[in-house]
Structure 1
Amino acid sequence: MSALQILYEDGEALVIDKPGGLPIERPRKGGPSLEDHLEALKLGFQRPPVPVHRIDTDTSGCLLLARNPKTLRRFAMAFEERAVEKRYLGILDGEPAKDEGTIALSLSKISSAEKGWRMIPAKKGKPSVTHWRVVARQAGRALLEFRPETGRTHQIRVHAASGLGVPLLGDPVYGMGPKTTGAAPRTMLHAAALVVPRPGKTPVEATAPLPADFAALGFADG
């Protein structure tokens, strides 16, 4: 089990660079998860750190961990109040017509026996807003920067597929599934940066380098 890269560290917080494919919680069928690493991430502290938020198993990049219950509550509140700045990078399985814009699509969760659960745009769903811009275009695909205002489950994935009309490359739920997955090892989404404000203290700031599987598809950050 290789050690996870630490992007930020102080007495209250850790930000790690979560690898794509590593689930935060242990899957029902078993297998590796972030839980395997929490003991090693104590780094001299009494308690193992606790994830403050969730990013999808396939998504790589910045994940904030709190080192004690008090800071866990404070950081969780910052996410709830939309005070956290989040920057994602994603590779689309195609190119958008414009170079930038804002997607506002409310989202609801549905489930069925044959397809399991997924998020869909729905007028009565929870309001969801994502700002986006094209960083680069390459070989019929595009690297986009996403700045979500809200933090709904699968928000960027659904906003790309339904708001832009172009899903993320490799997305098995909202994209073409196995047809495109051969071109990508996973859903190509990366949590590139995180800024978490702290009253009376310097904010928690972290940037996760672009992963190798993004570079392998010919893209660089900026």
Structure 2
Amino acid sequence: MKTQLQSTFANVQWVEIAEDHCDQRLDNFLITRLKGVPKSRIYRIVRKGEVRVNKGRVDVNYRLALGDVVRIPPIRVAENAEEAFVPQHLKDALQRNILFEDDGFLILNKPAGFAVHGGSGIDSGIIEGLRQLRPEARFLELVHRLDRDTSGCLLIAKKRSVLRRLHELFRDDHVQKTYLALLAGEWARKKMVVNAPLQKNVAKGGERMVIVSKTGKAAETVFKRLKLYRGATLVEASPKTGRTHQIRVHAAYLGHPIVGDERYGLEEVNRAFRARGYKRIFLHAQQLVFEHPATGEKLTVHAPLPESLEDLLKHEEPL
């Protein structure tokens, strides 16, 4: 059923950012403020410069600061925005995959196949599912993101102050992230630090791509070989920076793309692995280590590898 819209446009809004919205991404702020407006429309008005911060243009990734003044243009707002549909199997997966939780945040072992949030043709994701499971929660926001088909540790803040602190830790590289990945081919090295700058690009079909480029942003990933198989290598990947698709692009840069990576991998290789049961990208956010924002103590959270991937590895021939 379609949501009925107001027949008149709202006036221009000028919103001064208070502490509650400090350090929030502009897109998330607008999505919350303009309930019922499609995300694609929100992204478009920002891209066209209709949304201004302190009278200047910004992109959707801009983080709001205390005292910023945001101009929101006239836009139709839904009178009764329909709640996003969240499938029951996602709700069930969320219920049984909480690795850690306290008053300030929780860490999920994100299941593969689910986006972290709705948008771009996706009705709902992890965050919408959590909000429906916990309607009493006043605040639930993603601290960082994982690709749709990547599983593993995902941080969700339950307080604005905690979100700000965790964002600081990520920005200052004080969060140690460790991933497990299965690379195509037999990687001869035991350990390697990849320093290859990355630049966002757009493919002909409109698909977002990231490429290695001298004009890109600095990116560093440490790869450590864990086990060598015939035709594949299990590695531990530790990104020291947080660029989009960083591990995936750096793995391909090594000449050993991640098994099942349809964007940066090789189709013939992926086809061969699919025939052996690999239905998704073999990338798993295994561990997070950081200073607890409230206690200051070191916190280590580990997400076990999904059974489906564990079972596939058991059938690989070790070298």
TM over 0.5: yes
Shift of 1:123: 0.7
Equivalent in the alignment of 2:270: 180
Distance 1:159 1:28 in 2: 26
- Deviation track 1:33-76 (CA, whole Å, cap 9, x = no partner) reads 1134212564x963242110011111100001111111001101
Q: In the superposition, relative to structure 1, how do residues 40 and 26 fare at CA in structure 2: closer, same or farther (>3 Å)?
A: closer
For 2:297, what is the secondary structure of its paired residue? strand
Partner residue of 1:7 out of 92, 95, 99: 99
Equivalent in the alignment of 1:203: 298
Q: TM-score, normalised by structure 2?
A: 0.64
Could you tell me which runs of 5 or more consecutive residues in structure 1 were left unpaired when the two chains were aligned. Answer: none
Deviates more, 1:24-33 or 1:83-92: 24-33
Shift of 1:140: 1.5
Q: TM-score, normalised by structure 1?
A: 0.90
- One-letter amino acid matched to 1:10: D
Work out whether 1:20 is the aligned partner of 2:20.
no
Shift of 1:216: 2.5
Work out whether 1:168 is the aligned partner of 2:250.
no
Q: Which has the higher strand share?
A: 1
Task: Give structure 1 regions of 4+ aligned residues with deviation exceeding 6 angstroms.
Answer: none
Identity among equivalent positions (%) equals: 36
Q: CA RMSD in A?
A: 2.0
- One-letter amino acid matched to 1:65: I
Q: In the superposition, relative to structure 1, how do residues 6 and 41 fare at CA in structure 2: closer, same or farther (>3 Å)?
A: farther
Count the aligned residue pairs. Answer: 218
Distance 2:225 2:269 in 1: 24
Partner residue of 2:193 out of 96, 102, 124: 102
Q: Is the 8 A contact 2:178 2:237 kept in 1?
A: yes
Q: Is the 8 A contact 2:117 2:124 kept in 1?
A: no
Q: In the superposition, relative to structure 1, how do residues 41 and 196 fare at CA in structure 2: closer, same or farther (>3 Å)?
A: farther
- Deviation track 1:138-174 (CA, whole Å, cap 9, x = no partner) reads 2321110011110100000000001x21100000010
For 1:3, what is the secondary structure of its paired residue? helix
Q: Is the 8 A contact 1:185 1:213 kept in 2?
A: no
Could you tell me which runs of 5 or more consecutive residues in structure 2 were left unpaired when the two chains were aligned. Answer: 1-87
Equivalent in the alignment of 1:144: 235
Shift of 1:205: 2.5
Partner residue of 2:174 out of 74, 79, 83: 83
Larger Rg: 2
- One-letter amino acid matched to 2:109: D
